[in-house]
Amino acid sequence: MSYKIRNTIALGVIILLVSIIGTYITFFYQPKKINQNLKETKKISVQLQDNTEQMNAIEQNQMKLRETQHRWNNRIKEISESDVSSQTYGYLSEIIDESGAQQLKMNLALVGTTDGGTIGYNTYKINGISEFPNIFRFLWLLENGRKLYKISSVTFRSDEIGADSMESPQIALQYDMEINAFYTKEKTLGMQVMRPDSTPQPIMSNPFQPSILKKTPANIRNLVDIERISVKATANGKALVMTEAGKLLTLQIGDEVYLGKVSNIIPKDGIIEFTLNDGGIAQTKRKQIQFEKKDKDAIQ
């Protein structure tokens, strides 16, 4: 066999082997490898997606943890491990002193206990009498104080208190309320907290102040009582009056009298006009010179 034929045969065998190997790689090996790679890619994608969800869940839990820690570190309430009447009375007395409401009278009585397992509370009835600003500050400090006390109900009844030593009657409030004093078995909740530095807003008005008082204010400054004077003479802007005791006084426009002031003087008619306010009832009153009637027979 010649050299040329042998080379041709060898080359044909090589081409055949290459063709067989190429065909196998192209139609069998590579598709199988591609499918394996695609499956692996999908598996990795699923794992990556799971990792992303886990990372998001971890981040959310970390945010909740930070928020919880922040709320815990900045809490303003503490809950005692137990509650007894003397303890509650002492705490309420501290609030009264802090509010400056020394005139707030208070009666305290335990009426029940609610045990919720980890946390429970005692219910107290409180009643007394005081003025609105004192009660307002007391309620605000009770709700916003460092210990967990909650007001479950409260009622008010107002009444006027007047006396000869008071220029204006006071509006006293009789109050009845129920409060819940909480306690817990969790010792960590009883850790002391900083006292809140906030204060109640200033009181601009009293919702229990009536527009018209029942009682007339007392005349503690001994002002001129127009019901007990008589007009003796009038001039421009001035008038001469006499009290029941026979004392002569000069009044001018603008002078203060009991329950009001002198608002006008009419010399030609011998009249003095007064603007008065009797506990919310405004009115104008006049006092006029009363001339004595002479007996005709005496004149003759």
Q: Which of 186, 189, 121 is nearest to 150 (CA)?
A: 121
CA distances (Å), origin 274, targets 19, 23, 134, 147, 227: 130, 126, 37, 56, 11
Q: pLDDT by residue for the chain (300 residues), tens digit each?
A: 677 777 777 777 788 787 788 787 777 777 888 888 888 888 887 777 777 788 888 888 889 888 877 776 666 778 888 888 888 888 888 888 777 655 677 888 999 999 888 889 999 999 988 888 888 888 888 888 888 889 999 999 888 776 666 677 778 888 899 999 999 888 777 677 666 666 667 777 888 877 888 778 888 888 999 999 999 999 988 999 999 888 999 999 999 999 999 999 999 999 999 999 988 889 999 999 987 655 444 444
Residue in the block written with tokens 């981040």? 59
Element (H, E) at 54: helix 30-73
- Return the bridge partners of 108, or none: 126
Write down the domain spans for the chain.
Answer: 1-74, 85-190, 226-293
**SS3 state of residue 46:** helix
pLDDT score of 274: 95
Contact between 265 and 234 (Cβ < 8 Å): yes
CATH architecture of 85-190: 2-Layer Sandwich (3.30)
pLDDT score of 241: 93
39: its two tokens: 């499956």
Residue in the block written with tokens 């006390």? 149
What span, in angstroms and rounded, lies between the C-alpha atoms of 272 and 268?
11
List b or e across 238-271, with b for residues whose CB sees 16 or more CB atoms inside 10 angstroms. bbebeeeeeeeeebeeebebbbbebeebeeeebb
What span, in angstroms and rounded, lies between the C-alpha atoms of 135 and 279?
24
Contact between 272 and 284 (Cβ < 8 Å): no
pLDDT score of 163: 60
Q: What is the DSSP letter of 177?
A: E
